[in-house]
Amino acid sequence: MAAAAPAGPSGDLWSPDGPDLVVHGDNAAVLPGLPEGSFTMVYIDPPFNTGRPQKRQELSMVRSASGDRIGFSGQRYETIKGALHRYDDAFSDYWAFLEPRLVEAWRLLAPDGTLYLHLDYREAHYAKVMLDAIFGRDCFLNEIIWAYDYGARTKRRWPTKHDNVLVYVKDPARYHFDAAEVDREPYMAPGLVTPEKRELGKLPTDVWWHTIVSPTGREKTGYPTQKPEGLVRRMVAASSRPGDWVLDFFAGSGTLGAVAQRLGRRFVCIDANPQAVEVMAGRLPSARVVAVPEGTV
Ligand SMILES: C[S@@+](CC[C@H](N)C(=O)[O-])C[C@H]1O[C@@H](n2cnc3c(N)ncnc32)[C@H](O)[C@@H]1O
């Protein structure tokens, strides 16, 4: 892989008229260098368990009209004790890693923007509590269930064959959502609908049946946690317009970038792993590849 060029001074990293970007760096270091409100859609698929003990965080905030602190966009926040995350170390570690990054996602979303947070069923409930606090409960739009059918089936419980995607909007009165842009599915009982409806197909619900990335298919990059383009395409198609900027700051193999490229959106894909950046540089050849060492932005 050609070495990623170092990013310039703060503020140089991204501009609305600049090229699509693949960024090598810790997202905690990169995100503060991106301007507020720049992205119509953020898709993230964080590691489910970082495996590292994190610094304990004892306080958190919820949005509240009578709150004692002024936060993003002049909104008021109420400081709450972290009683919830004292009961479970795993929750506390996960909170400490993810929460500041989700706050950045909120800051970076445009007023009509949407966050898609892709999670494992073991973590989704923790993250929902966090996102309710960061975005506000009224900004929760959906929980999408991605159902697949692959791998061994235990006989000791119901085999778990799904992921969860939490969807939050920056502003429930202004968010962009275009159902007409979404690919349609065959009806389950096609005999019960008119030929016209059968031909058109039905709008997907919040349960999406989709195969995993085929080990022999065109999409396969070899990156271990790669997600199918078909899933991400629906999200990008519904929640952004051609020309809009979209962001993935746990980008892995760059699935969001690949979809964005095909649908005429602009993208920033960030990952801390050099192997991920190498895969993305090959998959997204038109993007500029830059490196952001910690402490430079
Ligand atoms: C589950 S994978 C994402 C897979 C991706 N959705 C795809 O389709 O290929 C999570 C990614 O987050 C990256 N990651 C973990 N911690 C990070 C951090 N602090 N900053 C940037 N990337 C990070 C990992 O290197 C990994 O590639």
Report pLDDT digits (tens) over 64-90. 555 554 544 555 544 443 544 444 556
If we measure between CA atoms, which residue out of 231, 293, 290 comes closest to residue 258? 231
The residue whose CA is least distant from atom 12 of ligand 1 is 250
CA 37/CA 107 separation, integer angstroms: 6
The residue whose CA is least distant from atom 27 of ligand 1 is 252
Total residues belonging to the chain:
297
pLDDT for 20: 98
Indicate whether 24 pLDDT > 70: yes
Could you tell me if the CB of 223 is within 6 A of ligand 1?
yes
> Residue 272 Cα, ligand 1 centroid: separation in angstroms?
7
pLDDT for 282: 97
> Residue 48 Cα, ligand 1 centroid: separation in angstroms?
10
What structural domains and CATH numbers belong to the chain? 5-51+90-291 (3.40.50.150), 53-88 (no CATH)
pLDDT for 215: 86
Indicate whether 191 pLDDT > 50: yes
CA distances from 131 to 55, 152, 162, 227, 263 (A): 20, 33, 21, 22, 28
Could you tell me if the CB of 273 is within 6 A of ligand 1?
yes
Indicate whether 54 pLDDT > 60: no
Q: Are 254 and 269 in contact (CB under 8 A)?
A: yes
At 222-266, the pLDDT tens digits run 999 999 999 999 999 999 999 999 999 999 999 999 999 999 999
Indicate whether 58 pLDDT > 50: no
> Mean of the pLDDT values across residues 52-58?
42
If we measure between CA atoms, which residue out of 204, 143, 203, 137 comes closest to residue 172? 137
Strands (E), 181-275: 207-209, 245-248, 266-271
Higher per-residue pLDDT: 12 or 279: 279
Residue of 104, 219, 225, 278 to mutate, ligand 1, most atoms within 8 A of C-beta: 225
- Global confidence as pTM: 0.88
The residue whose CA is least distant from atom 25 of ligand 1 is 273
Indicate whether 176 pLDDT > 70: yes
Could you tell me if the CB of 279 is within 6 A of ligand 1?
no
pLDDT for 74: 54
At 8-20, the pLDDT tens digits run 554 589 999 999 9
